[in-house]
Structure 1
Amino acid sequence: MARVDSHELRLLENGEAFFARVGEAIAAARDEVLLESFILFEDKVGLALQQQLVAAARRGVRVEATVDGYGSPHFSPGFIAALSDAGVRLRVFDPHRPLLGMRMHVFRRLHRKLLVIDGRRAFIGGINFSADHLADFGPDSKQDYAVEVAGPIAATVRDFMHAALSGDGTGERWHPPPAPRDAALRFVLRDNRNRSRDIEHAYRQAIRAAQEEVLLANAYFFPGYGFTRDLRHAARRGVRVVLLMQGQPDTPLARIARRLYRPLAESGVELHEYCRRPFHGKVAVVDREWATVGSSNLDPLSLSLNLESNLVVRDRDFAGELRARLLHLLEEDCEPVDQARMPPWRPWHVLTRPLLFHCLRRFPDWAGLLPAHTPKTALLRPDPGTTP
């Protein structure tokens, strides 16, 4: 555990550590539990969370939970009834019925993973409430991170979540309290209004200021031109730049992102793929002092469309612990990306590579032109006669 100003921080790795601490925190709640998650599945993890929330509500704690309508598309009537009967309010952000069995409205999702207990303790990270974050799920269990923080910033997260609950669920109209630029802890958001690039800017400012090392671990790495340019410039001025990415791409976009390998490597960036199991983390450490843990990938969806949240920490102890864990992954479970594993160079890349970078650079502007709809958050209610 790290102590930063008047805060206590605990780095949580994978579901085993995260779910245990979440359960203890909810069991100790006295006044309020506020939760947001992209995914809540009705598996053993989701059912355990349901029981924890029900128990809290029955002892008089206000319990508010919000999940994304795309990430969490279905709950059984009994699951909803058990929560509702106990007084838990479960909301779905931007719900839409499947069309011909396919989930629609992929863009502009609630991708945040937040939990606040009594305004004193907060959890921020990338871990969803699903069994695939546990090792016993098998080879497809995910490697991921979250941070537990106790202290004044938890009240800031609580105020933001209250604003999201009282509005359309986005929290875009919330105005954070002023904080010094060199604050040890910062709660950073990405939305589609006034904070559309705040998380990206936090990363890029740290990379541009780096003097020794940038260690970046991200499941979906496909940033824009400016971001990749900052990484390449850092490597060229002598900063050690290390990227840890997933070695088992599970989306077409993640596979296309491998086209970035060669120009990054040519600039001196070290590339590694995590091959033990799916990598789902969204973390970074710069100069062994600056660190971030959160929900934001470094791809067009997270940087340009989704609602995201990260915690930025300036502390050598916390950054050192995260760095040590990432270095352990690099040494034990990663493979370096050499020339033989990069997509082969072809003559037409002279044209396609600039086009790729142009698309990456302009994607945020283009994304704003996509047909937008006003998101809404719906309170789920049990069907009459449903027995929990």
Structure 2
Amino acid sequence: MNGRWIEGNDIRLLENGEEFFPRVFACIANAQREVVLETFILFEDKVGLQLHEALVAAARRGVQVDVTIDGFGSPDLSDRFIGSLVEAGVRMHVFEPGTRLFGKRLNVLRRMHRKIVVVDGAVAFVGGINYSADHLADFGPQAKQDYSVEIRGPLVADIHRFTHAALAQGQRYQRVRQWWRRRKHLRSTPDSLPRLGSAAAMFVVRDNTEHMSDIERHYRIAIRAARHRIVIANAYFFPGYRFMKELRRAARRGVDVRLILQGEPDMAIVKTAAGMLYHHLLAAGVRIYEYRDRPLHGKVALMDDEWATVGSSNLDPLSLALNLEANVIIRDGAFNAHLYERLDCLMRNSCHQIEREAIGELRGWHLVRSFLAYHFTRRYPGWASWLPRHAPRLQPALSQRLSPAYHGPKE
């Protein structure tokens, strides 16, 4: 499944919550059989309450609804919020719920960072947008800039199979009968869906067992193949050494390499980490644009005139070596052109280009810090592999009595 080009898809770019939430909520409202949703963050704010209403309504009319939230990203949902979902028939799953010590969350590593929705096995959404009000412009200066895609066509079958496999594999109390679940699941999921568009695409995940570096590998392959244009917009940019090496090589062979990074990050350490790599990138001819309007949360890229990717994976140690992530890679000229138009608009109207002369020469502690940061990127994938890689664990929300166990897709 991971890394298989599938032809005939219709893929639509959705920018920010204003475009994303109405499409997802409308699809859930029209669901006839099934909704499967995974998200890192679900907050009990106006967006979370809208999602809650849509899911409850779907479950009450007989739609099978499975929702997976991350225990670190969504730790504070009230019992009333979850209980009303469960009572309506929604099967709520929590990835690594974890415990607290002196009020501090300990489940920091190995997060379920994916953002996926599949409705009736016919339409899917994959991207970086969580279910929280800070993805809407009216949230104010801290509203996030982000992207997702709506997918129709044969690729949806792959995504649908993946979401059910993740549910089955994540529940340890079903492991004895997991072979049966998988057989039933494969029978229930259509092998293919009709061609609905012109885009070739693949669904690529990062996990901690079989696909530990697949997303980064596809990025590096595309960078190596690029001939005239690379644009990467990524919220948390601190990639591995081989990734950096490919970017520098591309710029030196004449490719127009542009990075859109956070100028006003939601975490100060993000800018510090990226800034430590600026000298190495600028010296090779990479152009760097800092987005200044609001926090950048996007994870998108394009190469030349056809290749593009949208997903949940940042280009930092957490996403590339620890988190569970999902991206869609797209090969389509029209989609690539539209994404470039949107990113070019950001660069022209909302970004400040970083000039090499303006950041000065590296001296003293700044030189040492940059040296250490640059060479850390050569080592962290290996260090990350030393950390515990336990099997992903899902638990029912509230109690197993209230939240029924997963029993495969609805027939």
Contact 1:40 1:129 in 2 (8 A): yes
2:219 to 203, 208, 220: 203
1:261 to 278, 291, 297: 278
Contact 1:39 1:130 in 2 (8 A): yes
Distance 1:192 1:365 in 2: 13
What is the CA deviation profile of residues 271-298 of structure 1, one whole-angstrom value per residue up to 9, with x for unaligned ones? 0000000000000010021000000000
Q: CA deviation at 1:268?
A: 0.5
What secondary structure sits across from 2:101 in the alignment?
coil
Contact 1:222 1:254 in 2 (8 A): no
Q: Report whether the alignment pairs 1:212 with 2:228.
A: yes
One-letter amino acid of the counterpart of residue 394, structure 2? T
Distance 1:346 1:23 in 2: 53
Identity %: 53
Distance 2:128 2:213 in 1: 19
Contact 2:231 2:303 in 1 (8 A): yes
1:45 alignment partner in structure 2: 47
Distance 1:378 1:191 in 2: 19
Change in CA separation of 1:92 and 1:274 when aligned onto 2, cut-off 3 Å: same
What is the CA deviation profile of residues 78-117 of structure 1, one whole-angstrom value per residue up to 9, with x for unaligned ones? 1112101110011110001222121212111000000000
Aligned residue pairs: how many? Answer: 375
Change in CA separation of 1:208 and 1:315 when aligned onto 2, cut-off 3 Å: same
What is the aligned-residue RMSD (CA, Å)? 2.3
Task: Map 1:71-110 to 2 at 5 A.
Answer: 71-110=73-112
Distance 1:268 1:384 in 2: 59
Q: CA deviation at 1:306?
A: 0.2
What is the CA deviation profile of residues 102-157 of structure 1, one whole-angstrom value per residue up to 9, with x for unaligned ones? 12121110000000001110000000000000001001000000000011111111
Task: Map 1:1-388 to 2 at 5 A.
Answer: 5-168=7-170, 184-251=200-267, 252-339=269-356, 341-342=358-359, 344-347=361-364, 353-381=370-398
Greater shift in the superposed pair: 361-370 or 273-282: 361-370
Change in CA separation of 1:123 and 1:383 when aligned onto 2, cut-off 3 Å: closer
What secondary structure sits across from 1:163 in the alignment?
helix
What secondary structure sits across from 1:64 in the alignment?
strand
What is the CA deviation profile of residues 362-383 of structure 1, one whole-angstrom value per residue up to 9, with x for unaligned ones? 1111011124444411111369
Contact 1:84 1:382 in 2 (8 A): no
Contact 2:263 2:271 in 1 (8 A): no
Which 5+ residue runs of structure 1 have no aligned equivalent? 178-182
Distance 1:359 1:196 in 2: 19
Distance 1:370 1:162 in 2: 27
Contact 1:7 1:151 in 2 (8 A): yes
What secondary structure sits across from 1:167 in the alignment?
helix
Distance 2:371 2:163 in 1: 41
Change in CA separation of 1:343 and 1:156 when aligned onto 2, cut-off 3 Å: farther
**TM-score (ref. length: structure 2):** 0.87
What secondary structure sits across from 1:162 in the alignment?
helix
Distance 1:374 1:285 in 2: 33
Distance 2:389 2:303 in 1: 36
Contact 1:122 1:157 in 2 (8 A): yes
Distance 1:160 1:383 in 2: 24
Distance 1:54 1:135 in 2: 26
Distance 2:84 2:62 in 1: 16
Distance 1:142 1:214 in 2: 23
Distance 2:312 2:398 in 1: 28
Aligned structure 1 segments of 4 or more residues deviating by more than 2 angstroms: 339-344, 347-358, 371-375, 381-385
